[in-house]
Amino acid sequence: MAFDKPVYIDRDNILVKAFEPLKKSDIERLTKWNILEVETDGVEAAPKLVEKEIVIEGEEKAEIDRAMGELRKAALAREAVLKLMENGGKVISEAYEALAAEKPFQISNVRNVAEDIVTLSTENPLAFINTYYQNYPQTMYSHLMFSGIFAAYLANAMDFSIPKSIEAVFSILLMDVGMNLLPVSIRMKEGKLNESEKTQLQAHPLHGYQILTQFAKVKNSVSMVALQHQEYYDGSGYPRHTKGEQITEYARIAGIVDSYGALLEDKAYRKKKLPYEAMKELLAYGLYRYDPNFMKHFLFKFSIYPVGSLVELSDKSFAMVIRSGHEKPMRPIVYVYRDRLGNSPDKVKMIHLLYNPEYYIVNPVLPAAGHFDFDAEMDSLLKKI
């Protein structure tokens, strides 16, 4: 209930303001203090929910402003990202088909895609934030593009130089070339593989390595990723049970981003996971599958609520995660796109949860549950800025 005048605990202490609803927490507080009565001069009235005005200053303001600038750049880059995803998938598809048939192909075209990914992710840190919400056809080539994008961010977190980052992404875009030598019945099979089929599948890294070294003539540092991207840090992977730092740097990156990307995709045996769920599962695997130092950098870069995740906040508003800090990954900067009444805020509203402890993340949400349309929200954002 609410009243049209404030409710007082005593003459000097207000319990709630006029039109502010009494909450369960207010009653619990009164009970704890052994207060049995409160008083008001008002009459019962419909509550008016007023959004709290957040005062932003100092370091908090600087971080909010930077995040706002990056989100605006991402909104403006939507067309460039879609074009890169479409062109990149096409280039990789053509490369894989040509290499499997041992036909001439300019492998440098794939490297150009890697360079575009690294350049865009470096110059525009949130550029690929919309990839969570676009309904790309789910193919091996779209998976490789996503893996390359995640690899670019991880390489950046590990302070790789630009040329080294490009080579890492290039190697990951080529890592599954051996899959095209498998029968379509195995590649497209939705059910569980039998032992014979599993043996053939586990040979694809070796086939890919042979194609890249003997026909494509790429550098060994690149072709080794095709050979080792299914190896695990504890030696339980395939095809050679290579372990630890015997697995090359790029292949250790590939293992992480390949798995993360797969968790975000629909499979015959499960629905795709939310970024939050995928990160939790990846961390569980990380105890034995991945280089712990690389996983640490991946978590620092993407956080437990990866940038782009949709979340419900404690005040029942909906927001998108924009930036996360290493020290407090549960307290990111969020862009509020629906207030607690389900309306789009009149002004751009961003909250740095680290500086506003009364707000916290309650749940990750799917776009449909969060009433979220990326393009519509970005158009709205650009009009408000």
Nearest C-alpha neighbor of 128 from the set 87, 70, 185: 70
Question: Does residue 242 form part of some domain?
Answer: yes
Environment class of 343 (CB within 10 Å of its CB; exposed 0-12, middle 13-18, buried 19+): exposed
Model pLDDT for residues 109-147, shown as the tens digit of each residue? 999 999 999 999 999 999 998 777 767 778 899 999 999
Residues 371 and 322 in one domain: yes
Which residues sit opposite 334 in a β-bridge?
321, 351
Same domain, 316 and 294: no
Instruction: Name the nearest CA neighbour of 168 among 85, 245, 251, 91.
Output: 251
The pLDDT > 70 percentage for the chain reads: 96
Q: Contact, 300 vs 124, CB < 8 A?
A: no
In a domain, residue 69? The reply is no
Q: Are 230 and 156 members of one domain? A: yes
Same domain, 163 and 295: yes
Residues 186 and 297 reside in one and the same domain? yes
Domains contained in the chain, number: 3
**pTM of the predicted model, to two decimals?**
0.83
Task: Report the CATH number that the domain containing residue 98 is assigned in CATH.
Answer: 1.10.3210.10
Give the whole-angstrom CA distance, residue 1 versus residue 347. Answer: 29
| Confidence (pLDDT) at 12 | 63
- Of 302, 325, 357, the domain-final residue: 302
Beta bridge partners of 338: 318
The owner of tokens 């880059």 is 77
Question: Is residue 57, in this structure, part of any structural domain at all?
Answer: no
pLDDT in tens, 237-291: 999 999 999 999 999 999 999 999 999 988 777 788 888 999 999 988 877 899 9
- Confidence band for 54, pLDDT divided at 50, 70 and 90: low
Query: What is the percent of the chain with per-residue pLDDT over 90, rounded to a whole number?
Result: 55
Q: Is the pLDDT of residue 56 over 70?
A: no
Amino acid identity, position 124: N
DSSP string for 165-205: HHHHHHHHHTTTGGGGGS-HHHHT--S---HHHHHHHTTHH
Distance of alpha carbon 50 from alpha carbon 21, whole angstroms:
11
CA atoms lying within 13 Å on the CB side of residue 222: 24
* Tokens (6 digits) for 201: 């599948």
pLDDT grade for 51, boundaries at 50, 70 and 90: low
The amino acid that residue 95 corresponds to is A
Domain shared by 293 and 341, yes or no: no
User: How high is the pLDDT of residue 53?
Assistant: 57
Q: Which domain holds residue 249?
A: 75-302
Does 221 lie in the same domain as 177? yes
pLDDT band at 59 (very low <50, low <70, confident <90, very high): confident
Tell me, yes or no, whether 179 and 113 share the same domain. Answer: yes
pLDDT-derived band at 318, boundaries 50, 70, 90: very high
- Residue 7 forms beta bridges with which residues? 16, 40
Residues 160 and 254 in one domain: yes
Residue 216 located in a structural domain: yes
Check residue 130 and report its DSSP letter.
G
Name the domain boundary from 286, 302, 318: 302
**Which pLDDT score, from 0 to 100, does residue 55 have?**
61
Q: Please report whether residue 60 resides in a domain.
A: no
Give the integer Cα–Cα distance in Å for 210 and 201: 15
- Mean pLDDT of all residues in the chain? 89
Q: How far apart are the first and last CA of the chain?
A: 37
Tell me: cis bond preceding 275? Omega within 30 of 0 counts. Answer: no
Q: Tell me: pLDDT of 166 over 80.
A: yes
Q: What is the mean pLDDT of residues 291-306?
A: 91
Is the same domain home to 223 and 322?
Answer: no
Contacts 24+ apart (CB under 8 A), 347-354: 347/384, 348/68, 348/381, 348/384, 348/385, 349/54, 350/64, 350/67, 350/68, 350/322, 351/54, 351/313, 351/319, 352/56, 352/60, 352/63, 352/64, 354/60, 354/325, 354/328
Strand partners, 3: 44
> What's the rounded Cα separation, in Å, for the pair 142 and 89?
6
- Whether 12 is covered by a domain: the verdict is yes
Instruction: Tell the residue number behind the tokens 């909906």, with chain if given.
Output: 318
Exposure b/e, 129-168, CB count within 10 A at least 16 = b = bbbbeeeeeeeebbbbbbbbbbbbbbbbbbebeeebbbbb
Rounded Cα distance, 135 and 109, in Å: 25
Confidence of residue 15 (pLDDT cuts 50, 70, 90): confident
| 356 and 276 housed in the same domain | no
Q: What is the DSSP string of 277-297?
A: HHHHHHHHHTTTSS-HHHHHH
Confidence (pLDDT) at 118: 98
Task: Please give the structure tokens belonging to residue 130.
Answer: 């919309």
In a domain, 65, yes or no: no
CA 18, CA 40: separation in Å to the nearest integer? 10
Domain contains 244: yes
Tell me, yes or no, whether 196 and 91 share the same domain: yes
**How many CA atoms within 13 Å lie on the side-chain side of 277?**
14
Residue 49 has a pLDDT of 58
